[in-house]
Amino acid sequence: MKKRFLLTSFDTWLEDQQSNSSDDLLLEVTKLETLPHHLTYLRHLPVDVQLASNVVIQKINELQPDCIICCGMAASRMQLTVEVCATSAESVLQTAVDIEQLVSGARGIEISHDCGKFVCEGLYYSVLDHLHQSQMQANCIFVHVPVLNHENLVNIVADFVLIINKLALS
C-alpha cells in the first residue's frame, strides 16, 4: 500500500528573492517518476505563521496523510537539516520520528535542535501540536533546505528522496 505524504514549501519573503529553495526542492521532486508513494504538494505557503499553519492543518485534516514533511529555506546552511523539535513560548514539541535512524546512510544531512525563530518554527510547532491534540498517527518532520545550485542539487535531491523512502517505512 502506498504511503500518503504531504510535502509543504514556502513562498519567497524578500523582494530580491527569485525563489525559495524549499519550493525549488519540491519542484525537483515533482519531476521524479520513481517514487512509489502518493505525494501531495502544498507549495508557496504564505510566509506568515498563522496563515501557513491554517492552510497546512486544513490540508492534513482533509488528506489524513501518513507522513508530513514541511520544508523551509535556510540560505546560510550548506546541506539539508532535519529539525528534531520546535519551540513556542509555552513548550517544546519533538517529532516522534527517530531522526538519527532517518538520516543514517545520507550523503550530507545535519540534525538540528534549533528550528530558528522565523515562520519555519511556528509552522512546525503548529503541525506537531495539531497532530498531538487530534491524536493523529502521522509522522511529521521539518527539513531546512539550503540554496540549491549545480554543485549540490543532485546530492540534496538524493538525500531528500532517502528521507521520503525511510519515512514511508516507519
The pTM assigned to this predicted structure is 0.95
- What is the tally of structural domains in the chain? 1
pLDDT score, position 15? 75
Mean pLDDT of the chain: 94
Among 2-6, 22-26, 55-59, 103-107, name the one with the lowest average pLDDT: 103-107
Which residue do the cell numbers 538525500 mark? Answer: 159
Q: What is the pLDDT of residue 69?
A: 98
What gap in Å lies between CA 20 and CA 9, rounded to an integer?
Answer: 8
- Listed in sequence order, the DSSP H helices in the chain are 21-30, 49-63, 99-103, 119-134, 153-169
Q: If you average pLDDT over residues 114-132, what whole number do you get?
A: 94
Q: What is the pLDDT of residue 13?
A: 73
Residue 91 belongs to domain with CATH number: 3.40.630.20
Summarize the confidence of residues 74-97 as an average pLDDT: 93
Question: Percentage of residues in the chain with pLDDT exceeding 70?
Answer: 98
For residue 27, what are the domain limits? Answer: 4-169
Sign of torsion over alpha carbons 166, 108, 115, 42 = negative
Checking if the pLDDT of 2 tops 80, the result is: yes
pLDDT tens digit sequence for 12-52: 877 776 889 999 999 999 999 888 899 999 999 999 999 99
Query: How far lies 106's CA from each of 33, 50, 65, 117, 147, in Å?
Result: 21, 33, 24, 27, 18
pLDDT at 168: 94
